[in-house]
Amino acid sequence: MQLKRGDKINPITIEKMAAEGKCLAKYNGLVVFITGGAPGDVVEIELTKIKSSFLEGRVTSILQLSPIRATPFCGHFGTCGGCSWQHIQYTEQLNYKQQQVVDNLERIGGLELPPIKPIIGSAKTQHYRNKLDFTFTANRWLTKEELTTAIEQKRFENGLGYHIPKMYDRVFDVATCYLQPDPSNAIRLLVKSVAEKENIPFFNLRTQTGFVRTLTIRTALPSEVLAKGDLSSEALAKDEVMVILQVAQHQLEWTEKILTAIAEHFPQITSLNYIVNEKRNDTFADLDVICWKGKPYITEHMPKPDGSGTLQFRVGPKSFYQTNSEQAFELYKVAWQMADLQGHELVYDLYTGTGTIANFVAGRTKKVIGLEYVEAAIADAKVNAQINHITNTDFYAGDMKDLLNDSFLAQHGHPDVVITDPPRAGMLEDVCQMLLKAAPSRIVYVSCNPATQARDLQTLSEKYTVTAIQPVDMFPHTVHVENVVRLDLRK
C-alpha cells in the first residue's frame, strides 16, 4: 500500500533520540523521524512527510509509556516549543545530549577523540533563564475549538506570549512560564491587563498595525546567590530587574500608562525602558532605548575562577549575556581550566561579545585581546573591564575574517592561547585557516552547536590534536547542548 500524508501507523516502537529533538523508529525498512515521543514509547503516529528514504510523523496516541518518561510541569507543553523535552527525565536528557556531542564529533569531524568527560548538568532545571522576550498579538493563537467559536462570534482575543514554533505570525498567550524567576510572570500578566483595560491596541504581525509590540524582562541575581550559593528569600529579593517595552508609535500617553503601572506594582525594578519601533520587525539593535526610570543597565555577578572574589558585568538592553547565569560560570570555568594559563600568556578571545570570557580569564594572563563584530558589545566589554579594575585587556570590533589577519598579528603579537566562542554557525573557514597560520600552543573552543564545532575541528586537525572534551548543559528540557574542546598544537 502506498503511504500518503495523514496516514496513521500503529503500533510503532520508538528506538532512540535523533537530531533536533525528534525520535527515531523503523517501519518496513524505512527510518521514521517522530515528534512528540520518547525512546521506549509504543505509539500511533500520523505521517507528515513522505520521502523515498525516510518518513516523518507526529505522535497521535501513546499505547505504552516509556519508563524514561516524566510528567510535563508546564500547561503549555506541546504548544510551546521552548521546553520540548519536559516529557523526558532530566538524567536521560543529559545522556542524550552527551551522545549528541559524541555523534557529531565522530561522524562529522571524523576525529580521533580522547575520553569525553560526563556532561555537567544544570543545578536548576526551572527558573534558570535571566532573559525572556514576549510578543504581543491582537489575534492570539487558538485551538480548533476556540477558533470555531471565534469565527462564529467574529471575536478574536489579545495575547502576550511566545511564537508557535515555525509560525512567525502565530503567538499563543502565556499563563505561566517556568523559565524565569519571579517577578517575570507577574510583570507580564500586569502589562497585558493594563493594556487591555486602557484599550491600548495590541500589534498585529500580519497587518503591521497596533501599538504594543514586545516585552523583554531581564533579571540579574545578586552576588550573594552566585558567590555564596545563598538561595534564601532575602538574598533573592535583592536581584535586579530590567523591563523593556517595545511600541510601534510615538504615543507617549499610552506608553506611560503601562510604564507607570509597572513602576507602581513592582518597585524592585531597577531599569525600566521603552523603544519606539516603526519597522516591520522586532529587532532593536539599531534603535534608541529610552530609560524611563532607574539605571540603563543591570549588573550580573560571577565568581572569579580562582575563588578570589566576584566579577561584575553590566548588562544593557542590547547586551548579550549567557541566559543561564549560574551555569555560565560552570561553562567558563571549564574553558579557564582547559586554557591552563600560567600568567605569562598572550590570549586571544574570539567572538568575545561583552568580554565575559576575556575578563573572566584575565587574572591569570599577561594580556587578553578580545575580538567581536558588534561594536556595541565591544563598548560593553571595555566598561566591564573598567568596573572590575582589569587593565590587561584590549578589545577590537570588526568582521572576524577581516580583523584577524597578518597585520593584526604583527601589530598585537601572535597568541599563545586562543579561546573561541562563535555563534551557532561556527567559525568561517578563513578564521580557521588564520588560526592554523597563527599556531597558538592551545585553542579552547566553546560551542553551542557541536555539529559546526565538529566541522571546524576537522579543519584545525591539520595541526592540532583534540586533548579534552567537556559537554555542559545550559538549557534543561531543550535539545541544545554546549561543548568545550581543548586542542593542542602538534610538535
Looking at residue 239, its pLDDT comes to 78
Supply the CATH number for residue 432's domain: 3.40.50.150
Residue 312 lies in a domain: no
- Report the DSSP pairing between strands 240-247 and 269-276: parallel
**Cell 533573592 sits at which residue?**
236
Supply the CATH number for residue 27's domain: 2.40.50.140
Looking at residue 155, its pLDDT comes to 67
Q: What is the DSSP string of 353-401?
A: TTTHHHHHHGGGSSEEEEEES-HHHHHHHHHHHHHTT--SEEEEES-HH
pLDDT in tens, 415-467: 999 999 999 999 999 999 999 999 999 999 999 999 999 999 999 999 999 99
Looking at residue 168, its pLDDT comes to 77
What is the C-alpha to C-alpha distance for residues 62 and 64, in angstroms, rounded to an integer? 6
Together in a domain, 333 and 443: yes
Residues 450, 481 contacting (CB under 8 angstroms): yes
- Count the neighbouring beta carbons within 10 Å of the beta carbon of residue 166: 7
The number of angstroms, rounded, from the C-alpha of 127 to the middle of its chain's C-alpha atoms is: 14
Together in a domain, 409 and 330: yes
Residue 115 lies in a domain: yes
User: In this structure, which amino acid lies at residue 415?
Assistant: P
- At 89, is the secondary structure helix, strand, or coil? coil
**Exposure on the CB side of residue 134, measured as CA atoms within 13 A:** 31
Instruction: Check if 448 is active-site.
Output: yes
Together in a domain, 37 and 151: no
Residue 87 lies in a domain: no
- Of the residues 297, 313, 347, which one is the last residue of a structural domain? 297
Together in a domain, 171 and 277: yes
Together in a domain, 210 and 104: no
| Domains of the chain: total | 3
Residue 307 lies in a domain: no
Together in a domain, 288 and 331: no
- Of the residues 54, 69, 84, which one is the last residue of a structural domain? 69
- Report the DSSP pairing between strands 16-17 and 23-27: antiparallel
Maximal CA-CA distance, the chain: 76
User: In this structure, which amino acid lies at residue 258?
Assistant: I
Residue 306 lies in a domain: no
Dihedral over Cα of 25, 27, 30, 33: its sign: negative
Looking at residue 109, its pLDDT comes to 86
What is the C-alpha to C-alpha distance for residues 200 and 210, in angstroms, rounded to an integer? 8
Residue 402 lies in a domain: yes
Q: Which residues of the chain have pLDDT under 70?
A: 1, 144-145, 148-155, 222-238
Together in a domain, 142 and 283: yes
Residue 447 lies in a domain: yes
Together in a domain, 47 and 138: no
pLDDT in tens, 310-333: 999 999 999 989 999 999 999 999
Looking at residue 236, its pLDDT comes to 46
Looking at residue 258, its pLDDT comes to 98
Supply the CATH number for residue 244's domain: 2.40.50.1070
Residues 368, 420 contacting (CB under 8 angstroms): no
Together in a domain, 111 and 175: no
Looking at residue 229, its pLDDT comes to 52
Residue 1 lies in a domain: no
Alpha-carbon dihedral 341, 346, 348, 349, rounded to 10 degrees: 40
Could you tell me which of 57, 56, 93 has the C-alpha nearest to residue 72? 93
| Partners of 300 in beta bridges | 313
Per-residue H/E/C for 95-153: HHHHHHHHHHHHHHCCCCCCCCCCCECCCCCCCCCCEEEEEEECCCCCCHHHHHHHHHH
Q: Which three cell numbers stand for residue 301?
A: 555577578
**pTM above threshold 0.85:** yes
Looking at residue 1, its pLDDT comes to 66
Looking at residue 224, its pLDDT comes to 55
For residue 29, the enclosing domain spans 8-69
Residue 247 sits at φ, ψ, to 5 deg, of: -125, 165
**Cell 503516529 sits at which residue?**
45
The Cα-based distances of 381 to 86, 200, 215, 360 in angstroms read 36, 38, 25, 11
The number of angstroms, rounded, from the C-alpha of 287 to the middle of its chain's C-alpha atoms is: 22
Together in a domain, 22 and 157: no
Together in a domain, 156 and 292: yes
Together in a domain, 400 and 467: yes
Q: Which of 23, 74, 83, 448 is catalytic?
A: 448
What is the C-alpha to C-alpha distance for residues 431 and 447, in angstroms, rounded to an integer? 15
